[in-house]
Amino acid sequence: MFNKLIAAGLTAIVTSGLITLISYIAAVLDGIYDDNDVYFSVIDLFLIYTLSSFPIILISGILVDFFVKRIIPFFPVNRNIFLLKATVYVVFGGMVALIFLLPNHEGNYTFSNFSFLLLALSISGLSAFFYFWISLQLKRRKSHIS
For the segment 11-20, what is each residue's pLDDT rounded down to a tens digit?
A: 999 989 888 8
Is residue 78 over pLDDT 70?
no
- 106 pLDDT band, cuts 50/70/90, is low
| Residue bearing the bigger pLDDT, 116 or 4 | 4
Closest CA to 130 of 86, 92, 96, 68: 86
The mean of the pLDDT values for the chain is 79
Q: Measuring CA to CA, which residue among 71, 46, 60 is closest to residue 93?
A: 60
Backbone angles phi, psi at 108, to 5 degrees: -120, 30
The pLDDT value recorded for residue 40 is 63
Whether the per-residue pLDDT at 32 is higher than 80: the answer is no
Q: Does residue 124 have a pLDDT over 70?
A: yes
Quote the pLDDT of residue 68: 81
pTM above 0.95, yes or no: no
Q: Rounded to whole angstroms, how far apart are CA atoms 112 and 93?
A: 23
Question: At residue 75, does pLDDT exceed 60?
Answer: yes
